[in-house]
Amino acid sequence: MNRLPRSRARRLAGVLALLVLPVSVDSAQPDPGRDEDSQLSRAEVYNNRGTQHAARGDYRQAAGAFRKAIEFDPGMTVAHYNLGLALSRVKNHRDAAFALQAAVRLSPRYFEARLQLGLSLMALNQYGEAAIAFEECLSLKQGDPVARFRLGQSYWKAGNWERVIANWTALLNESPAHPATETARHELPRAYYNLGLHHQDVGNIDAAREAYDEALRRDSRYVPALNNLAIMEQVANRDEKAAELFGLATEIDPEHEGARLGLAGALLALGRIPEAIEHYQGLQTRLPEDGRAYRGLALCHIKSGHRDKALEWVAAAEERSDRYEARLLEAFVYEHNLSGERYGVGFDDKAAEEVYRQVIELYPGRAEAHYNLGVIHARVERWEHAVASLERVLAIDSTYAAARVALAEVERVTKSQNIHILRIKRP
């Protein structure tokens, strides 16, 4: 417990230890040999009693004493600060924040009070306000490592990845020996990864790639960044590079499901079907209820011209995985011809249509089967049926963009051919 001489009883105090600000309350200290109550004000006496309670770990009693000190002297900054610390220890963060705000109003340059205020605001999930408190700490003590770390942490909670990166990079440069740098250094790859996700969400692919590359520069074994870079290569039809990156990810983490699925898909796209089958079978054995493995195995056999084998995997999927997805997979198999081309010449539109009708009967409110059936109708030029199925999709889900695009294309084609479409009314 820290104690202040009487002449400094109203000055600021607090102890900061590494990353955690413990309750370290301040009190007035009497001169030796004199009765404490005779020389201290009543506010100071209660403040000292509060520190004694806190030293014993009785923070509720301590808070009561600090409140009494404030009643006798509302301008006693240290009592407000001590009250905030005691309330923080009993997790009453809202009242703690009020007490610390009072301390800051009384002494705007009170660094420790602002720092503790930021922590209380973070506990209340008020991350923007916490960041302001930590920014003000840095204006009082430029480059303070704890304030810098906590500022980055508040931005992390708020999802502001660029500011996380800026502050924790500054921490590494300004205070490389501080214990907080270990956490910052460990988490920066994830911050860059999250920044990459943000850029992907808004369609800034180049920026996303740069963020993932930076994550890997800081940690070459950071699998989530490797996996997402591989997915981006796959989307861009650079399957060789995708397979390379997925392969690296699975070497580092053989249990990473996304990377293993991605690798199998890239190998399939490259025509390396036996290797793709091996990976899909490994996933199916490990995750027997995951329909993605069955779909991959079915597609491998479709591409090999083995429809019967593909349908065997469909039957296995119906037994072990989601039945709705398994029935869609069955129709998907029939949508391919014996050369493995989807909707290619000779694909079994009647069998696929029948499966979709059965699926729709069982799951009438699911849009995907209606959409796929509409596409089949359009492929074989059953225009009225195509329009009816696609309009049904939009009745179920007005945001289904693919159905809206397909419907517009059907109407464009039929108009160009002077085909009049009779709208089919369906329940």
Number of Cβ within a 10 Å radius of residue 149: 23
Q: Residue 140: its pLDDT value, please? A: 97
Give the number of residues written for the chain: 427
Nearest one of 209, 257, 263, 205 to 239, comparing CA atoms: 263
Q: Residue 423: its pLDDT value, please? A: 58
Q: Identify the CATH number of the domain in which residue 56 sits.
A: 1.25.40.10
pLDDT of 250 higher than 50: yes
Compute the mean pLDDT over every residue in the chain, rounded to the nearest whole number: 89
Does the residue 94 lie in any domain?
yes
Percent of the chain with pLDDT over 90: 84
Strand partners, 29: 5
Alpha carbon distance, N-terminus to C-terminus of the chain: 77
pTM for the full model? 0.78
- Residue that finishes a domain, picked among 124, 153, 174: 124
Nearest one of 223, 270, 224 to 243, comparing CA atoms: 270
Report pLDDT digits (tens) over 68-109: 999 999 999 999 999 999 999 999 999 999 999 999 999 999
Mean per-residue pLDDT, 333-358: 93
pLDDT of 345 higher than 60: yes
Number of H helices, E strands in the chain: 22, 2
Q: What confidence category does residue 2 fall into, taking pLDDT thresholds of 50, 70 and 90?
A: very low
Does the residue 32 lie in any domain?
yes
Q: Residue 150: its pLDDT value, please? A: 97
* Per-residue tokens: 100: 């610390």
> What domain range is 371 assigned to?
364-427
Q: Residue 87: its pLDDT value, please? A: 97
DSSP annotation of 30? P
Q: Residue 348: its pLDDT value, please? A: 94
- Residue that finishes a domain, picked among 76, 102, 124: 124
Q: What share of the chain is helix, strand, coil (3-state, %, to 5)?
A: 70, 0, 25
Give dist(CA 58, CA 418) in Å, integer: 87
Q: Residue 403: its pLDDT value, please? A: 95
Does the residue 198 lie in any domain?
no
Does the residue 240 lie in any domain?
no
Number of domain units in the chain: 2
Better pLDDT: 11 or 378? 378
Does the residue 386 lie in any domain?
yes
Q: What confidence category does residue 422 fall into, taking pLDDT thresholds of 50, 70 and 90?
A: low
Give dist(CA 317, CA 313) in Å, integer: 6
Does the residue 422 lie in any domain?
yes
pLDDT of 18 higher than 60: no
Does the residue 132 lie in any domain?
no
From residue 253, alpha-carbon distances to 240, 249, 256 in Å are 20, 6, 6
Does the residue 325 lie in any domain?
no
Give dist(CA 285, CA 300) in Å, integer: 16
Give dist(CA 175, CA 18) in Å, integer: 12
Mean per-residue pLDDT, 212-228: 97
In this structure, of 17-31, 296-310, 361-375, 377-391, the range with the lowest mean pLDDT score is 17-31
- Residue that finishes a domain, picked among 67, 95, 124: 124
* H helix intervals, 74-178: 77-89, 93-106, 111-123, 127-140, 145-158, 161-174
Report pLDDT digits (tens) over 257-314: 999 999 999 999 999 999 999 999 999 999 998 999 999 999 999 999 899 999 999 9
Give dist(CA 44, CA 58) in Å, integer: 19
